[in-house]
A and B are shown apart, each in its own frame.
Chain A
Amino acid sequence: MLYPVFSGNLLFIMNGPQDSVSAASAQRQVRVQLVSKQEDIALPENTGPILVPTGLRRYALSTLVNNLLGNDKPVPFEFLINGAFLRTSIDEYLTANGISAETTLEIEYIRALIPPLHIASFEHDDWVSAVDVLSATSSAASWASSSSISQGQSRILSASYDGLLRIWNMSSQIVATSPSALDGGHSASIKAAKFLSPTSIVSAGLDRTVRLWKYAESEDGFSGKIAPQLELYGHKSGINSLAVHAPSNRILTASSDHAVGFWSTKKSDAPAAPENLLPSAASRTSKRRKLNSSISTPQRGPLALLSSHTAPVSAAIFDAKDSTVGYSTSWDHTLRTWDLVTAALVDTRSTSHSLLSLEHLPEHHLLATGTSARHITLIDPRVSATTISAMTLRGHTNAVVSLSRDPHSSYGLISGSHDGTCRIWDIRATKTDKDGVVGESVYSITRKSLEEAGKADVKRVGGEGVKVFGVCWDRSVGIVSAGEDKRIQINRGEGVLSSA
């Protein structure tokens, strides 16, 4: 323990146990000036230089700062001397850098980044293609102002290749499962699913339909029911991703038929479904028809099919601030901006690779897109932007198929890739080289399933068996990722990036 003693303007620190540990280094003391750029953790103005033993390391310094701040709950800090993180004892740092112990060291401290530790894994029967989170801080909950979700009542929605949606509570129990194809469920793999509100879910998949589900939970919260509410027909090929905007009751879908679907969640708003795309229109044998649902669900068509892409559309999202603007990325290398009111194409940005995922960073007016060329390109969609690619984030070894914003920091971003990792990026951590501004990931989250199998070190060709298909970062739940290993993996997402 450290016992700070005020003596005029100087603090003399007597550290008992450390003396015995490093008696020699404890002989030496150095003046340090602790500063922080973050106001909430800054020391009082009158705190002058502090005399500390040079044997201190990061942990001891962190304890010291916590003591000085009088924090009840210790906050881990990182220490920067001359812009470099202190990874050794001060003594070793001074020796290594040839700094005299006589000088006053200026040490900057910041909140330490906590590695995204693994919290839990929920196992499935089949590949998990997408996840979404319903929590007090999720967008679905924020849109639904009426009901609030308490801390422990967070739910995780997973969409699986077996065509089922599952809702999990935080103790890895399945609260609800969507009905099978015969009972009005998806007839093929689900590729995307989202909470529209705490009581409604949207999902879409390879059966070319977008389905709205009503989600009801029992009082105790241990059982629930997902009931089909609406089937939306219009796509001619599998749907790769979807985006929802609850306040305006709109859905955007991206399909392999080169079209972006724009849908309404309201039965009354939506036009009738195109007849030729209904499953009953299929001219297959009667046996196949039997597969079709026995439950009749209202069927509707799209508000608009935005088709100017020339290749499968991989992702479509709403602008985070303006729900009348949509963005879509496609395998035809383009990012297109749509005016959803008029269903008109506003802008096209061509890159040099197939784009597979999309996320909006509204604070920076950037769109992050994952490419098949194993990197993430940040694109400024504004007309004024001169260059297409504002930044490139490199590090993945396979296609980047899922992106999610950091709810804690406007600079943070997480990406899920077919290489079996999720990577956390800080768009400030960049450097400029010949390819322009290039960033590197802050953390890389590997699949827990690999570690459990003891094959964490085995190099997987093409992320075989551990491909990540979906990732979602929620403020309260953390980083939720799903993939080919048939699991949802939850990692701690708090304090991973230094907030600003």
Chain B
Amino acid sequence: MRRLSAFALALAVLVPALARAGEPRAAAVVEPAEGVAGRGLTLRVTITGNDAAVIDVPDMPDWTVIPRGRSVGVRGEDGEPVAAYRFEIVPRRSGTLSVPALTVETGGARLTTSPLTVAVRPSPAPPRALAGRDVFLDAAVSRDAPYVGEAFVYTARLYRAVPAAAVTLEPPAFAGCVVDPLPGQRDGEVRDGGRAYATAEVDYLVTPLRAGSLRLGLPTAKLRGLGKAPGETVVSGPELTVGVRPLPAYAGTVPFTGLVGRMALDARLLADARGEAVYELTLTGRGNLEAAAPPTLAAPPGLAVRSLPTEGEVAPTPQGYEGRRVFRYALAAREAGEFTLPAVRLAVFDPVAGAYGVIEAPARSFAAAPEPPPGPVAPPLGPPPVATALGSLTESWAGRALLALLPPALWALALLPRRRSRPAGEGGRPGPSAVAEALRRALDRATDASREPWPEVRDLLARLDRLLYSGEAADAAALAAARDRGLALLRRLGP
């Protein structure tokens, strides 16, 4: 009887659980958890199962709801199908606003999500200096006194009362910081002094690396086609100073490697029976995860530890860097046996609490079998590659340009006019044809060709023409004599 009761009790517990495993489930979440009036948030409704769903969104007077589509995928190692419906919800006022429970109909079932609350801050008031200006660039930081390694948001905000063709916002240099732009530009509209201003905001996640006064230089905005102004208009914003606080002195025994934020540490063994296992330490949370160095493992005797490449993904968000880093270690046992890797502890500074805390990954044990026989021999490589000079030329852009331009250059050289060959003179003296041409030019310039010595010049010119151009075999001695006589005449005529 007692056994029957236990069986009935087990049935009562297990059957509903098994039934729930196949039933569709719906959950809603708002991201991020805090917002600003007038700025959109994401309401994500996640529904398991393959069936299409109809979501009944009730009247939400505090919100403007814009459907943003549906994406389908799988989740988890068992590949559970999941559909995510996204809505952009824009708070109409500040305060603690509620998102009511949503009714979801899918696969013949009627589901209800849990109601949510969201803290909404009022939108920032226009700065006083905006009054009377057409364009104004403002800047602000989310924290005035962050700690070293604590990320804060730098916001550049452009107010514009006149239209512009193109706007480019450039942040300051951020010297001594790690900076990542946050995705998305927020556009809006404010009224000040009876004028409507279009606003554009760009955020940067800034992590200071040094304590002290951090000067954030001038942000600039370049606007083209602003109103009726020709060319480009450059507007500068204010210079900000942030007092970066040093981390308080650390006196704990757990190693502190500069981690700042709120994090958790976990450990697992991926393979634990073949002599070599992979030990994984996963650091998750929010903070300067990228600065985390692989923790040093205190390996027990007989166990060799080798670091593997670190994996993970860390993304900048308005709340800071979020994600995970996975430190992997290959473990090789020199002999078979049971090994226990002790718990790993790391000290983390929590900037919100202003104090150090300790995160811990639990100890893990594994049984190592004797070292397996060596694996297959690596296959031999092929012959080493050989690069020819021509191949190197055709593989580089400079070489291609050279080879492409060389043939047309040679063709262009062939286009150059050829210099006519002149009958060579002797000993640097002009030849007969040059003498003839000089005499001809002198005769052309003569004012009275009937007086001496022009008849003699005319006779000599006729003789030279006959000797040079008649086509008969010229007597070299007669040609030389005519040239010498011509030179003598030219000397007489003067320059």
Partners in one complex: no
